[in-house]
Amino acid sequence: MRKTERYRHFTDYFTTHFPEPETELTFANPYELIVAVVLSAQCTDKRVNLVTPALLAQFPTPAHLAAASAEEIFPFIRSISYPNNKAKHLAGLGRMLAQDFGGEVPASIEELQRLPGVGRKTANVVVSVVYNQPAMAVDTHVFRVSHRLGLVPKTATTPLAVEKELVRHIPEILIPKAHHWLILHGRYICVARQPKCAQCPLTSWCKYYADVISKQEIIPKKTAPKVVKGEINNESGTTK
């Protein structure tokens, strides 16, 4: 199947079935989003959503965060991954937002990446979600699912290479949505260890399904279990 066809299947399916995908992080403004995205590195959105209400009640603006030390922030985020580092990042983030950006979250990827704890992925999430710009944040789900679907080649071995490939092929207007489509599909269906292909509506054009999964499901005739009358056959007869 040609790549353009795969992209057409991808955008057709998701625009029809998930026309308005959204981030699962809870936030009310750009500041709250950037705090949540910084906290979400190596952590689930669900867990982040558990800590942000109390954190943001205590530090409701960049100015409040700027006035706090990492030690004061730590107790609010102790239950998430890497709390020490993230507390330091948030303290620095608050200071830079307050001092260099007038308390506003900048809208450019370059400026966002100057903020402590903000890499290219976080910057892309912010400009995509807040400012609806055609930026593709590549996290572990986007990376895995886009490879499995055959949207990107095997040679795209870095998040940046995957980002460039996806941005080149997906219509600009759909890029912010495509980011969520790939994340949500990876989170709930095309999970890392054992993709739930039996529940997946994309099998007819998924490259990984065609190349790997469909072949696993074929039962070779030679190994098909023999059923002998009067015997209980415990073999499943399926290949793993």
Binding site for ligand SF4 (CB under 6 A): 148-149, 189-190, 195-197, 200, 202-203, 206, 208-209, 213
| 190 annotated among ligand-binding-site residues | yes
Nearest-angstrom CA–CA distance, 191 and 214:
17
Does residue 121 have an active-site annotation?
yes
CB of 192 to ligand SF4, least distance (A): 10
Nearest-angstrom CA–CA distance, 13 and 182:
12
Nearer Cβ to ligand SF4, position 97 or 202? 202
Does residue 211 have an active-site annotation?
no
CB of 112 to ligand SF4, least distance (A): 31
Nearest-angstrom CA–CA distance, 38 and 29:
15
- Kindly give, in sequence order, each residue whose CB lies less than 8 Å from that of residue 43, ignoring residues fewer than 6 positions away: 80, 81, 82
- Please tell me which residue in 139, 154, 211, 240 is annotated as part of the active site: 139
| 206 annotated among ligand-binding-site residues | yes
Nearest-angstrom CA–CA distance, 91 and 53:
17
Nearest-angstrom CA–CA distance, 49 and 79:
11
Burial (Cβ within 10 Å: 0-12, 13-18, ≥19) of residue 106:
buried
CB of 141 to ligand SF4, least distance (A): 11
- Please tell me which residue in 3, 121, 196, 229 is annotated as part of the active site: 121
| 197 annotated among ligand-binding-site residues | yes
**Positions marked catalytic:** 121, 139
Q: Which residues are annotated as a binding site for [4Fe-4S] cluster?
A: 190, 197, 200, 206
Q: Which residues are annotated as a binding site?
A: 190, 197, 200, 206
